[in-house]
Amino acid sequence: MQKKELIYEGKAKRIYSTDQEACLLMEYKDSLTAFNALKKGQFLGKGELNCKISTLIFAELKKNGVNHHWLETSSGNEMLVQKTTIIPLEVVVRNIMAGSLAKKLGRTEGEVLKQPLVEFYYKDDHLADPFVSDDQITAMGWTDQATLDYLKKEALRINHVLQNMFLKAGLKLVDFKTEFGRNVKSEIILSDEISPDCMRLWDVKTNKKMDKDRFRQDLGEVEESYLEVYERLQKGVS
């Protein structure tokens, strides 16, 4: 597989075309960002750690029948993925009250929700990715209701698989964000990284935060926490 031109660079990843039309190369960066990139940082090897964590997660999802864009991990911080046209929505699943939801509703972090909550946010950095309702999404033509229903169902299925996976590693899956896209066959598939950058993970016994909140909230031990997440997951799937 030949790596060709850079076609997209985001806050945490670079995407390159390859010599195969339906395949792209995703490169994980060492950068850390928070608050829509208003806060920036990095640590050496973060990209490789996130790539390894995402690889373990994608492999587990594949075992459980979840269709996604990951094909193989080609090097330390690069993976080969299917080319997709991204649906312009961030899909967030919440299991425990935390972050913006707790702040918006005036609730205490750590409250377990009666059922997992699926939310949609419109992907637009200039608008700070605003929360949007089903009716707003369909009215703006970003996708149709049948697709939204499928995204909710699939996000909850992914949540179930990941909750079990992380519990084996002694971690609570508080919430996570992901994206979906359509591949060259027009199939809707999971299409983004899944790593501590885009989820909240708390230690089962101590509730210690093991994700990017350590960077957001200046808690320290960011690199150590990402490494521990990887090591725990690796043991859990071995």
Task: State what percent of residues in the chain have pLDDT above 90.
Answer: 91
pLDDT tens-digit readout, 152-161: 999 999 999 9
58 vs 55: CA distance, rounded Å: 5
pTM (two decimals): 0.94
Is pLDDT of 237 > 80? no
The mean pLDDT value for 184-202 works out to: 95
Is pLDDT of 238 > 70? no
Q: What is the pLDDT of residue 2?
A: 84
The mean pLDDT value for 212-237 works out to: 94
94 vs 173: CA distance, rounded Å: 8
Which of 192, 219, 191, 185 has the alpha carbon at shortest distance from 203? 219
CA dihedral 47, 125, 152, 188 (to 10 degrees): -70
pLDDT tens-digit readout, 110-153: 999 999 999 999 999 899 999 999 999 999 999 999 999 999 99
Q: How far apart are the first and last CA of the chain?
A: 29
Q: What is the pLDDT of residue 219?
A: 96
Q: State CA 109 to chain mean position distance.
A: 21
What is the CA angle 40-70-100, rounded to 5?
40
Which of 145, 129, 140 has the alpha carbon at shortest distance from 90? 129
Could you tell me the domains of the chain?
3-82 (3.30.200.20), 85-221 (3.30.470.20)
76 vs 73: CA distance, rounded Å: 8
> What three-state secondary structure class fits 209?
strand
